[in-house]
Amino acid sequence: MSTESMTLARALNQSLRKALEDDPQVLVMGEDVGRLGGVFRVTEGLQKDFSEERVMDSPLAESGIVGTAIGLALNGYRPVVEIQFDGFVFPAYDQIVTQLAKVHARSRGMLTMPVVIRIPYGGGIGAVEHHSDSPEALFAHVAGLRVVSPSNAADAYWMLQQAIRSDDPVIFFEPKRRYWDTAEVDRAVPPVDLHRADVVRRGTDVTLVAYGPMVKVCLEAAEAAAEEGRSLEVIDLRSVSPVDFDTVQASVERTRRLVVVHEAPVFFGAGAEIAARITTRCFYHLEAPVLRVGGYHAPYPPARLEEEYLPGLDRVLDAVDRSLGY
């Protein structure tokens, strides 16, 4: 059997291993990815098996990591870069937004940038400041970048394979509080498209859209709602750029209600774009305004407060109640 039970972190590790085996141009680079195997052990054992030439411990300089990855990509390599934590990506933001995202366009298609930037993101692990942020909207806003986030081990395995094969730069957000969640991974079944949303629970009353760490919360909310006789449909968006609006639209046309859930602050978040577009597409179907559940317009709080800050099951169900109240 090709199906195997593994954690999300292990699935990523296996996916990187496969990519390194399949394509000699694939490189893994980042801080502590070598001997240590990464602070979350996602790259464990890779340097030992694939050499320091292909699995490189980088100097502690994020702009340098992404900037040299661009140069390596110009030279035919396919670098998979690790940024150690969400809050550390900003020294590299200039290289990502100003350079990486635009190389293909400014060369009028002559150059491609097959670079994957892996970023463990989100809260819920009791971390110190700058280790719990969700900056995906800041990347989705940039033309030229693809932005994805798996919610489970199987998607983690396959989506990383697809991201590495993409000729465009992909910002790959890994839900760090789900690293240790286990799921069945079938390494033989061809995956669905990297950017297609997945209806992970069928329902009739309200549609919940989430991605990454919040998919599990929404599934739990749907389970709780079912006990009260409410049928919630849950969509795992999987991709924040592009967004699979067709799948969301089809669902909302049936349920007539939509709640978008993410950890990132609500203001100018992915939910705002989804609300605007779905309102336009489904204007005559909607029974209630599209509601959003997410972080507050405040810096991510100290760990002792994160349970209050993060949208949990109750806040999702509260939004469901409000939606049904229209």
Partner 1 sequence: MTVPGTERSHAPDLSRVLSAFSSRAEEPPGPIQLLTPEGTLVHHPDDTPGYDPLRLRAFYRDMVMARSIDTEATALQRQGELGLWPPLAGQEAAQIGSAHALRADDYAFPSYREHGVAWCRGVDPVDVVRLYRGVTNGGWDPREKNFHLYTLVVGSHALHATGYAMGLAKRGSGAAAIAYFGDGATSEGDVAEAFTFAAVHDAPVVFFCQNNQWAISEPVERQLRGPLYRRAAGFGFPGVQVDGNDVLAVHAVTEAALEHARTGNGPFFIEASTYRMGAHTTSDDPTRYRRAAELDEWRAKDPIDRVRTHLAEAGHATQEFFDDVATEGAELALRIRRQVRTMPDPDRTEVFGHVYADGHPLVDEERAQFAAYQASFADQEVK
- Catalytic machinery residues: 131
Give 281 or 285: the residue with its C-beta nearer to partner 1.
281
Q: Are 178 and 40 in contact (CB under 8 A)?
A: no
| Minimum CB–partner distance for residue 317 and partner 1 (Å) | 32
Contacts of 189 by beta carbon, 8 Å cutoff, 6+ apart:
2
On the CB side of 39, how many CA atoms lie within 13 Å of its CA? Answer: 12
Which residues make beta-bridge pairs with 56?
29
Q: Residue 302: helix, strand or coil by DSSP? A: coil
| Residue ranges binding partner 1 (CB under 8 A) | 53, 58-59, 61, 63-64, 66-77, 91, 94-95, 98-99, 102, 104-113, 143-144, 146, 166-168, 195, 241-243
Give 32 or 318: the residue with its C-beta nearer to partner 1.
32
Q: Are 73 and 114 in contact (CB under 8 A)?
A: yes
| Minimum CB–partner distance for residue 118 and partner 1 (Å) | 17
Contacts of 163 by beta carbon, 8 Å cutoff, 6+ apart:
116, 146, 148, 170, 172, 194
| Minimum CB–partner distance for residue 98 and partner 1 (Å) | 5
Give 59 or 126: the residue with its C-beta nearer to partner 1.
59
Q: How far apart are CA 180 and CA 124, in angstroms?
A: 13
Q: How far apart are CA 99 and CA 109, in angstroms?
A: 14
First to last CA, the chain: 49
| Minimum CB–partner distance for residue 62 and partner 1 (Å) | 9
| Minimum CB–partner distance for residue 197 and partner 1 (Å) | 12
Give 68 or 207: the residue with its C-beta nearer to partner 1.
68
